[in-house]
Structure 1
């Protein structure tokens, strides 16, 4: 099965993608991870500079670069029985390019979460930068305030976890969602589902299982 998982920032896409990947034994593909791996390779200096400059300026990496990295990843053996695209595509143009290039998709699953809950989730996050461990002052607090449970090092707030930036990202997603919904709903071979992400993790997980089983 080939799945697109979309939703607001902090809607729980990453958590559910990990669950799907483990249960159905298909790789969870994140574009940001593909970009990080490309930078670490240090093979194509010009490409790395383009990627870094776009990321630093807060702009989207060109579609041509992203789609090329995605196509290479999907050709690997572990993608032969399926994959999850975690939060991708992010624009209508990316969806159109994928469709033209015949990148197969069976399901689009959108996790719906209220704006109120998104703000609660985003503005309460704390990160341990070296490990990537994530905490939340309400949902997953550290044992000691602002201290990583394992290393004892300080936790930090993500640069983009501010009310203004979160609001901007939600508005951008609203525009994208309308476009992507109409685009995929017209495709007879692609099933589009919307599930309630305001519920507990277990309930959201069960909703996804009903769709995929």
Structure 2
């Protein structure tokens, strides 16, 4: 399986990515992990990304795309992968298609975990309290969710237009959500 995992902050993407990766025997690849590995490894791309991150700026698409391209070319991703956090916009979606075409494979699905905004807000507030994230207040969380919805709508439309979008309800028990995700992927 070669898929991307989409969903708002707090929808459980990290948890579900790990579970799906184990179930299908593929790596769960998060852009955050890719950034950290490149920065820690002192790669040319890592140094470029660090400059932007240190300045509080978003890492440009060309740097992010290059890191993802390198990661997808690694041996463990040859049989499949689950991308979490990439692509973030339609331009990155097009670039992902190009990367995969160069590797001689195609994307199987774009899986969107949907979630109730009020419930996700509660989850994120609870996580903020547990992890001591004092700046994760309700207004900040709601703004992040609003930005996610606005920026991701064109991406989900892109995948839907290609017949790749699979939406799965992310509410409820973690095991139930995992079962729904597996059923949705298996039916594709």
Give the TM-score band, short-chain normalised. Answer: 0.7 to 0.9
- Find 1:60's aligned residue among 53, 58, 61: 58
Runs in 1 of length 4+ with deviation above 3 angstroms? Answer: 47-50, 100-103
Map of 1:72 onto structure 2: 70
Answer whether contact 2:30 2:84 (CA < 8 A) is retained. Answer: yes
Map of 2:142 onto structure 1: 167
Map of 2:160 onto structure 1: 185
TM-score, length-normalised on structure 2? 0.87
Answer whether contact 1:92 1:176 (CA < 8 A) is retained. Answer: no
Map of 2:22 onto structure 1: 22
1:198 to 2:171 alignment: yes
RMSD: 1.9
Distance 1:5 1:41, change over 3 A: same
1:98 to 2:96 alignment: yes
Answer whether contact 1:160 1:166 (CA < 8 A) is retained. Answer: no
Aligned counterparts of 1:204 and 1:81: Cα–Cα separation in 2: 24
Aligned counterparts of 2:75 and 2:49: Cα–Cα separation in 1: 26
Answer whether contact 1:109 1:194 (CA < 8 A) is retained. Answer: yes
Map of 1:9 onto structure 2: 9
Aligned counterparts of 1:195 and 1:91: Cα–Cα separation in 2: 20
Distance 1:102 1:77, change over 3 A: closer
1:3-45 alpha-carbon deviations (Å, 9 max, x no partner)? 110100010000000001111100000111111111111243x
Aligned counterparts of 1:95 and 1:58: Cα–Cα separation in 2: 24
Identify the structure with the greater helix proportion: 2
1:117 to 2:92 alignment: no
Distance 1:57 1:116, change over 3 A: farther
Distance 1:159 1:29, change over 3 A: farther
Map of 1:130 onto structure 2: none
The gaps in structure 2 that reach 5 residues or longer are none
Aligned counterparts of 1:55 and 1:90: Cα–Cα separation in 2: 17
TM-score, length-normalised on structure 1? 0.78
Q: How many equivalent residue pairs?
A: 182
Aligned counterparts of 2:56 and 2:117: Cα–Cα separation in 1: 23
The gaps in structure 1 that reach 5 residues or longer are 127-135, 138-155
1:209 to 2:174 alignment: no
Distance 1:90 1:38, change over 3 A: same
